[in-house]
Structure 1
């Protein structure tokens, strides 16, 4: 496999979200033969089963990008102790219509950052339940409940020194997971 392509779904729409910054920082820690691409989910209509026969262009695009990737990395916020609605909407769209899921068999990674001390632990647990149903083998260890505090990111957006080695090891483990499942 010449280059490994990882689709990255950021579960936050905010331009400067901690999780978008984390996704960008993680990509910088990846081996040179791995490409991380953040997929757009902010233009998806709300999921409605009535639209399964004629999916919006943005949905078709998202499904194609997922199918073209060798793995999917979810970098998500936690809203009210669960996954953000925009993330669930993207998951639902790409899993439909029934029997035409873009997610099936794609090795997944789940990580997230929050100002709370437990990071995004509850969101990640809920997401893992959904991914199990979608038949996505999901990296179990190491877990990545990242506490977003001063020093997590350097001025240039890279992962700060205090977290760099842990997150480099996390990315390496995830990349190995994807290679194992391809």
Structure 2
């Protein structure tokens, strides 16, 4: 069983990106278990002064969740042309300790939806860039950006949209394939 952890860049309970993640959980292909790590909301802003011998408990739990996963799925909206601060902060925590971070070499894909006509591609590009610099093995070919989310999902949940569920299943399959191709030692 391939274990994938999802990080959702929107903290709002009813967000389209949270719903997109719910669709991914529900429609995960056989052999893939997708879980959502909601604890990124509890991470303090990254500060090397508090990341010493006894980092905050939220950071320890977060790093362990990443270490235990075979791959990561970032699901993000676009805030002011980039990724939400909570997601960037999570990537900062995941990138440490330098040289031995839990994200190092971990397959990672970015998907999401936004109100605009491009579906959040700027945020997705920034998330891929930051994750790659943090050490993740970013799947650059996995691009799922669903535009005009407020209109498209006004009366339907993403899990009921066949096109969306197909795209999400494809992203998860690509992550599982990448994890199988080069297992990451924890």
Q: Shared fold (TM-score greater than 0.5)?
A: yes
**Could you say what secondary structure the match of 2:159 adopts?**
coil
Runs of at least 5 residues in structure 1 that lack an aligned partner in the other structure: none
Residue 69 (structure 1) aligned with residue 69 (structure 2):
yes
After the TM superposition, which residues 31-50 of structure 1 pair with which residues of structure 2 at under 5 Å, given as runs?
31-39=29-37, 40-50=39-49
For the structure 1 residues 91 and 163, does the alpha-carbon distance in structure 2 shift closer, same or farther, using more than 3 Å as the test? closer
Shift of 1:154: 7.5
Tell whether the 8 Å contact from 2:63 to 2:94 is kept in structure 1 after alignment: yes
What is the CA-CA distance between 1:98 and the residue it aligns to? 2.3
Partner of 1:23: 21
Segment drifting more, 127-136 vs 54-63: 127-136
CA contact (8 A) 2:29 2:169 kept: no
The two structures, once aligned, show a CA RMSD in angstroms of 2.0
Structure-2 residue corresponding to 1:166: 167
In structure 2, relative to structure 1, the CA distance for the partners of 1:50 and 1:15 (3 Å cut) is same
Q: CA separation in 2, counterparts of 1:156 and 1:119?
A: 16
Relative distance call for 1:142 and 1:51 in structure 2 (3 A) is closer
Point out the more displaced range, 166-175 or 130-139: 166-175
Change (3 A) 1:34 1:75: same
Query: TM-score, normalized by length of structure 2?
Result: 0.87
Q: Does 1:14 align with 2:5?
A: no
Cross-structure match for 2:86:
86
CA deviation string 1:21-43 (max 9, x = no partner): 11110122212221111112111
Q: Residues 44-101 of structure 1, C-alpha deviation per residue, up to 9 Å, x if partnerless? A: 1111110111210010000001000000110011111111111111111122232331
Could you state the TM-score of these two structures normalised by the residue count of structure 1?
A: 0.89
* Whole-angstrom CA distance in 2 between matches of 1:36 and 1:26: 8
